[in-house]
């Protein structure tokens, strides 16, 4: 039933699962499919949606993948996140809001994976450490670590699908004087609960989706004030009283933060909502995206999916 | 002046610098020495002592190495940290306390490095990604990444000295129910300032050196209370009123923490002072220490220094 072609899929999040689902559906329809192996470093499927209380490193000293916080709600209308081969109607059996909470969407993803029994293809607690391509062999050489057994091995594949996402490795720029700041500094990647900021003056650097959502959570859970520092232009929402937007932060001196309009604030905590980096440390140089900053259409990916050899 | 032998030193902290110093001293005395290359992933020397405000990842997405906090003072009598070839008297020129603060000791280390001009051997912002040994060639194959250029290369060495330390990768055990805790959870590796815990009830898990020092800092800076949970036995110090020791934490339910003597506490933050892991992800399996927990005398290291082939 399987051809001799081998395909590695890195990551069992929404995208990796979609690949697995497509191959398994083809197999169940009687097609011959390649041999598929999906490597997932976490102990379960779901990628970002596999929420964890941990920050920094996981129990195997791998960087924590998920940037989810406890009370995250999706920020895209649900229709943008629907699997074409698993309609929401089939899963939920009833209408539900456009912006579901994290746990509901996770339930949908897990059910999608369970429906077609794609777990059979996934090796959990298994991280891909290095991928290179051999022109001679016309194969990908993949170095894999079994985290539970603490054992490294190598395998060869004809194709590799990278489905590890790019909202895991935080971008944390330097701000002049930040080393003098005595409060908590974190990136939204490590934000888990708004309750920890009750009665605090909080500075959010950035005014994208994360800053928008986290500022409202901080407000709801009782932060004393929230200041959003934007790079280019303000959102100019009708923010609640306790939230305001200011221009870019230019300097920090102990607890005082200065902005480029000359204004300043005294704050207790700084949350960087400054986005994520394209980061594929397990890919050989000649297989890897190299971008100076985030962009929607990376130049070396045909249709933003297929890697073009240079 | 150099022999054809090549030696790689991984890490330019106190131990790596000591190696460099010894080789450079030999060279200055007229000895022929091997070619030495020291790879340091940080942008300066000092290892742990190169304090950073960052936690989690550095600007190149490498895990932050230093576990220092702003107000750290050394916890070994200074005599245990003296370089045999650079006496404290020579550096300081006057007596100084047994337990100096971080910045004083860092100054000593930097001066030691400067004295003999060992910077010439160090490649900064350069991380060792993978080391394997070729029996055929009788050489170590070392894969190195230049972080600034975002470029990977390989080199061969006759010997490799691992001087990366083992107080960088936190050990963070699971506690039943911890995912329900709504406050801040961190490991002492990510602790930077005690000021962030003013007026808070803080639980410290562990009662080793870090717990001892951090609990006193929290007390001094105005934490409302500090509870130390020990695994084996209490320190039984004459703690200040606001600090107390309790047995092992067994369960967490929202903000309430339960201990194995049946007692419980309501806390706002949890700091794991549960030590570090021997973690050398850049070493091939057969070159790597494999220990189930920390120990002082790893079985495969002769005199705790030289790796024994198995």
Of A59, A129, A179, the CB nearest to B174: A59
* Mean predicted lDDT score pLDDT of chain B: 93
Element housing A220 (H / E): helix A209-221
Is residue B65 predicted with pLDDT exceeding 70?
Answer: yes
Helices (H), chain B: 14-28, 88-92, 102-115, 209-221
Of B53, B184, B277, the CB nearest to A61: B277
CB contact under 8 A, B182 and A195: yes
Q: How many angstroms separate the CA atoms of B54 and A56, rounded? A: 12
The pLDDT value recorded for residue B1 is 57
The pLDDT value recorded for residue A135 is 94
CB count in 10 Å sphere of residue B17? 29
Element housing A216 (H / E): helix A209-221
Residues of A in contact with B182 (CB under 8 A): 70, 193, 195-196
For chain A, the residue count is 310
Q: How many angstroms separate the CA atoms of A50 and B207, rounded? A: 32
Q: Which two tokens stand for residue B148?
A: 């600034």
Classified as helix, coil or strand, B265 is strand
Give me the interface pTM, i.e. the ipTM. Answer: 0.92
Q: How many angstroms separate the CA atoms of B3 and B121, rounded? A: 15
Of B61, B179, B277, the CB nearest to A169: B61
Contacts with B230 (C-beta within 8 Å, 6 or more apart), sequence order: B206, B207, B245, B246, B247, B248
Nearest chain B residue to A146 by CA: give it.
Answer: B285
Q: Which domains does chain B have, with CATH numbers?
A: 2-168+276-307 (3.50.50.60), 178-272 (3.50.50.60)
CB pairs under 8 A between A and B: 97
Determine contact: A152 vs chain B, CB below 8 A: yes
| Shortest distance, CA A162 to any CA of chain B (angstroms) | 19
The pLDDT value recorded for residue B292 is 67
Q: What is the pLDDT of residues B186-225, one digit of tens each?
A: 999 999 999 999 999 999 999 999 999 999 999 999 999 9
The pLDDT value recorded for residue A66 is 97
Closest residue by Cα to residue B157 from B41, B38, B40, B42:
B38
More confident call, B294 vs B9: B9
Classified as helix, coil or strand, A40 is coil
Q: How many angstroms separate the CA atoms of B207 and B266, rounded? A: 19
Residues of B in contact with A43 (CB under 8 A): none
Place of tokens 């699971």: B174
Over its length of 310 residues, how does chain A's per-residue pLDDT go in tens digits?
567 999 999 999 999 999 999 999 999 999 999 999 999 999 999 999 999 999 999 999 999 999 999 999 888 888 888 999 899 999 999 988 888 999 999 999 999 999 889 999 999 999 999 999 999 999 999 999 999 999 999 999 999 999 999 899 999 999 999 999 999 999 999 999 999 999 999 999 999 999 999 999 999 999 999 999 999 999 989 999 999 999 999 999 999 999 999 999 999 999 999 999 989 999 998 898 877 666 767 778 888 888 887 5
CB contact under 8 A, A186 and B55: yes
When scoring A52, A57, A59, A267 by the number of chain B Cβ atoms within 10 A, the one with the most, hence best to mutate, is A57
**What is the bridge-based pairing of β-strands B126-134 and B139-146?**
antiparallel
Q: SS in 3 state form for chain B?
A: CEEEEEEEEECCCHHHHHHHHHHHHHHHCCCCEEEEEEECCCCCCCHHHCCCCCCCECCCCCECCCCCCCCCECCCCHHHHCECCECHHHHHCCCCCCCCEHHHHHHHHHHHHHHCCHHHHEECCEEEEEEEEECCCCEEEEEEEECCCCEEEEEEECEEEECCCCCCCECCCCCCCHHHCCCEEEEHHHCCCHHHHCCCEEEEECCCHHHHHHHHHHHHHCCCEEEEECCCCCCCCCCCCCEEEECCEEEEECCEEEECCCCEEECCEEEECCCECCCCCCECHHHCCCCCCCCCCCCCEECCCEECCC
Q: What is the pLDDT of residues B144-156, one digit of tens each?
A: 999 999 999 999 9
Q: What is the pLDDT of residues B5-45, one digit of tens each?
A: 999 999 999 999 999 999 999 999 999 999 999 999 999 99
């Amino acid at each position: 039933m399987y051809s001799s072609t081998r395909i590695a899929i890195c990551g069992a999040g929404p995208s990796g699962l979609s690949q697995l689902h497509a191959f398994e559906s083809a197999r169940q329809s009687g097609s011959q499919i390649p041999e598929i192996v999906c490597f997932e470093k976490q102990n379960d499927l779901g990628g970002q949606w596999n929420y964890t209380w941990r920050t920094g490193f996981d129990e195997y000293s791998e960087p924590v993948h998920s940037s989810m916080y406890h009370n995250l709600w999706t920020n895209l209308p649900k229709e943008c996140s629907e699997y074409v081969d698993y309609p929401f109607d089939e899963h939920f059996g009833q209408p539900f809001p456009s912006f579901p909470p994290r746990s509901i969407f996770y339930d949908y993803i897990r059910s999608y994976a369970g429906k077609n029994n794609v777990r059979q293809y996934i090796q959990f607690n298994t991280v891909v450490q290095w991928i290179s391509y051999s022109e001679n062999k016309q194969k990908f050489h993949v170095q894999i670590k079994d985290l539970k057994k603490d054992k490294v091995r190598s395998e060869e594949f004809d194709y590799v699908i990278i489905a590890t996402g790019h909202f895991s490795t935080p971008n944390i720029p330097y701000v002049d004087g930040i080393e003098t700041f005595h409060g908590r500094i974190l990136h939204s990647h490590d934000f888990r609960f708004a309750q920890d900021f009750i009665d605090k003056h909080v500075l959010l650097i950035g005014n994208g989706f994360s800053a928008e959502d986290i500022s409202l959570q901080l407000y709801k859970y009782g932060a004393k004030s929230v200041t959003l520092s934007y790079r280019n232009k303000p959102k100019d929402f009708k923010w609640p009283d306790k939230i305001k937007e200011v221009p870019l932060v230019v300097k920090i001196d102990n607890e005082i933060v200065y902005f480029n309009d000359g204004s300043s604030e005294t704050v207790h905590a700084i949350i960087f909502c400054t986005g994520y980096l394209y980061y594929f440390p397990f890919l050989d140089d000649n297989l890897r995206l190299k971008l100076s900053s985030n962009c929607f259409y990376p130049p070396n990916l045909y249709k933003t999916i297929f890697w073009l050899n240079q």
